[in-house]
């Protein structure tokens, strides 16, 4: 019996030794063409290996690939060297024991300097989609509509786990020639994990967008296959300007925009944040700003209910609605209503003409207060055509020590015309005010709109004991 045990032990040692040593004797260069063909057949991509391929079985299955490039064939992309993915090094290791149970538990995936490039052609074609992937996507959508795909996906999803996905110094570039837009994420450093393909998911890291460092933190629950939703808590922070965006709610997993949750956007210095993001010195005063509420977003529309807004010392509540988002040849429709019990001090909102740099804005550089006319900029550019209807009700406002009570302002922008209605229920010394202002707009290029000049003087009549005429521009 002892001899048999020794023999078995010797065979085990020999097998383990072979598992460790054998991969080193395999010339993986000879297998590269087979790997390339397999990937091309499955995805339609051309694959090139500029470095070594190394494989080990123990202590756990491990593969390492250097200088990998995945390209769209020239005849499909229409351009040369259309790299969809390129990376300096990729390392993947899986746990050994789960494989014997028919499960895949990925211990780690480490991607060093990955570069992802996504382009949309002028005719709207997604250049990263090969013919093979397009056909596979159509087949998957057909199977899903028949009800077969979710069951198969759900069955396999629980047999996969990813302990750690790490991205080091990555780059993601996206360009859309049909819209003339470009975006890029650089210095991407992220750590991601998933208990299964259905979640929960965890992600944390940082990247650079628009020359600004962005910190990201994500935590989700499991995907609900019945409702096709997943609970999620996410935060995005801009440490340079102290701005943050947080979200806690549910997100749809059906592939279209579908979310509902408590959302908050906050910055301690609105001027510094806008300056950092735009790269141009903002003339807005360096005031703290925060808006939060229950946001619901779907394709082409979004709204915020139970909205709370804070700007400096002013607090307001209300709602916001947006429709026609992304609708071609139709202006975006924005509707908002705000009520505030605060007294708005106009001096605090005057443009800051002395802010030249981000540092000055961050140090609360004192604004040079001008007249009320300085509220009207020489030009206003909107990123897309939009119609706006806004109603603001204030307990009061003040300017240079003079207070006005029960203030209601309505703004209605439609096309190239802006109508502003101002009603003041309590003027200094008594009386009320009911005024209307008209602004003309001239259409700009590429969908932008530029403000013109005030259409005329704003003489208004104030019903009072003396029946005096008041020039609203002097208020």
Q: Is the pLDDT of residue 474 over 50?
A: no
Does residue 434 sit within a domain? yes
pLDDT value of position 142:
55
Ranges 101-105, 121-125, 237-241, 277-281: which has the least confidence: 101-105
CA distance 222 to 98: 21
φ/ψ of residue 340, rounded to 5 = -135, 135
Confidence of residue 457 (pLDDT cuts 50, 70, 90): very low
pLDDT surpasses 50 at 9: no
Q: State residue 147's pLDDT score.
A: 55
Up-side HSE of residue 168: CA atoms within 13 Å toward CB?
10
* pLDDT reported for residue 133: 79
Place of tokens 């750690």: 164
DSSP code at position 224: B
Where is pLDDT greater, at 96 or 297? 297
Please say which residue of 176, 209, 242 terminates a domain: 209
* Range of the structural domain that residue 198 is part of: 19-209
What was the pLDDT predicted at 256? Answer: 87
pLDDT tens for 126-137 read: 888 888 877 876
Higher pLDDT, 48 or 389: 389
Greater confidence (447 vs 142) lies with 142
Contacts of residue 459, Cβ cutoff 8 Å, sequence gap at least 6: 469, 470, 471, 472
Q: Give the residue, 113 or 37, on which the prediction is more confident.
A: 113
Plot region of 437 (φ>0 → left; ψ -120 to 50 → alpha; else → beta): beta
pLDDT in tens, 196-226: 888 999 999 999 998 899 999 999 999 999 9
386 φ, ψ to 5°? Answer: -150, 145
- Is a pLDDT exceeding 50 seen at residue 450? no
Average pLDDT of the chain to the nearest whole number: 78
Residue 56 maps to a domain: yes
d(CA 224, CA 221): 9
**8 A C-beta contact, residue 65 and residue 154:** no
Give the C-alpha separation, 49 to 33, whole Å. 10
pLDDT at 382 over 70: no
Cα dihedral sign, 29-31-37-43:
negative
Q: Is 103 inside a domain boundary? A: yes
Is residue 152 scored above 60 in pLDDT? no
Rounded distance, CA 43 to CA 134, Å?
9
Split into its structural domains, the chain has a count of 2
Top pLDDT among 213 and 469 is at 213
More confident residue, 179 or 452: 179
Non-local (6+) Cβ contacts of 48 within 8 A are 36, 68, 69, 71
Residue 284 lies in a domain: no
Residue 302 lies in a domain: no
Last residue of a domain, one of 209, 224, 256: 209
Mean pLDDT, to the nearest integer, of 307-329?
93
Rounded to a whole number of angstroms, the CA Rg of the chain reads 30
Q: 154 in a domain, yes or no?
A: yes
Is the model more confident about 115 or about 453?
115
- Does the pLDDT of residue 116 top 80, yes or no? yes
pLDDT higher for 105 or 352? 105
Q: At 166, is the pLDDT very low, low, confident or very high (cuts 50, 70, 90)?
A: very high
Distance CA 182, CA 173 (A): 8
> CA torsion, points 256, 262, 263, 267, in degrees to nearest 10?
-170
Residue range 16-36, pLDDT digits in tens: 333 344 444 455 667 778 888
Question: For residue 254, what pLDDT is reported?
Answer: 87
Asked if the structure places residue 222 within a domain, the reply is no
**Which positions ≥6 away from 302 have C-beta within 8 Å?**
295, 296, 321, 322, 325
Mean pLDDT in residue range 403-430? 92
How does pLDDT run across 245-272, given as a tens digit for each residue?
Answer: 999 999 999 888 899 999 999 999 998 8
Question: What's the average model confidence in pLDDT over 55-73?
Answer: 84
Residue 307, in any domain of the structure: no
> Percentage of the chain surpassing pLDDT 90?
39
- Render pLDDT for 271-284 as a digit per residue (tens, 0 to 9): 888 888 877 888 78
Domain boundary at 164, 188, 209, which? Answer: 209
More confident residue, 304 or 48: 304
């Amino acid at each position: 019996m002892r001899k048999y045990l020794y023999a078995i032990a010797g065979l085990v040692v020999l097998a383990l030794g072979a598992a460790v040593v054998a991969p080193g004797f395999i010339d993986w260069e000879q297998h590269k063409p087979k790997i390339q063909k397999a990937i091309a057949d499955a995805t339609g991509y051309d694959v090139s290996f500029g470095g070594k391929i190394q494989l080990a079985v123990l202590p756990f299955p491990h593969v390492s690939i250097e200088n990998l490039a995945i390209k769209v064939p020239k005849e499909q992309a229409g351009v040369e060297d259309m790299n969809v993915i390129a990376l300096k090094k990729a390392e993947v290791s899986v746990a050994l024991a789960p494989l014997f149970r028919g499960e895949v538990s990925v211990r780690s995936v480490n991607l060093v300097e990955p570069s992802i490039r996504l382009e949309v052609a002028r005719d709207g074609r997604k250049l990263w989609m090969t013919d093979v992937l397009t056909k596979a996507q159509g087949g998957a959508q057909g199977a899903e509509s028949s009800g077969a795909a979710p069951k198969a996906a759900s069955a396999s999803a629980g047999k996969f786990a990813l302990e750690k996905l790490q991205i080091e110094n990555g780059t993601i570039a996206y360009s859309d020639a049909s819209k003339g837009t470009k975006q890029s994420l650089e210095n991407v450093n992220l750590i991601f994990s998933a208990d299964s393909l259905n979640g929960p998911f965890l992600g944390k890291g940082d990247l650079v967008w628009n020359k600004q460092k962005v910190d990201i933190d994500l935590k989700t629950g499991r995907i609900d296959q019945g409702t096709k939703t997943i609970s999620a808590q996410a935060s995005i922070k801009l440490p340079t300007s102290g701005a943050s965006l947080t979200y806690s709610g549910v997100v749809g997993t059906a592939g279209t925009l579908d979310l509902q949750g408590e959302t908050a956007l906050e910055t301690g210095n609105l001027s510094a944040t806008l300056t950092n993001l735009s790269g141009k010195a903002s003339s807005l005063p360096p005031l703290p700003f925060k808006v939060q509420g229950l946001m619901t977003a779907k394709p082409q529309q979004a709204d915020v209910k139970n909205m709370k807004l804070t700007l400096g010392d002013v607090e307001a509540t209300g709602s916001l609605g947006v429709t026609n988002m992304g609708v071609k040849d139709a202006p975006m429709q924005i509707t908002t209503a705000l009520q505030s019990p605060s007294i708005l001090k106009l001096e605090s909102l005057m443009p800051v003409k002395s802010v030249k740099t981000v540092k000055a804005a961050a140090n609360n550089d004192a604004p040079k207060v001008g007249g009320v006319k300085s509220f009207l900029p020489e030009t206003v550019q909107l990123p897309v055509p939009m119609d706006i209807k806004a109603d603001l009700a204030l307990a009061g406002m003040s300017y240079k020590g003079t207070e006005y009570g029960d203030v209601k302002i309505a703004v209605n922008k439609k096309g190239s015309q802006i109508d502003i209605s101002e009603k003041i229920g309590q003027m200094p010394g008594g009386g009320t005010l009911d005024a209307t202002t008209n602004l003309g707009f001239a259409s700009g290029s590429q969908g932008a709109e530029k403000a013109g000049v005030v259409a005329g003087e704003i003489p208004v009549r104030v019903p009072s004991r003396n029946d005096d005429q008041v020039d609203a521009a002097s208020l």
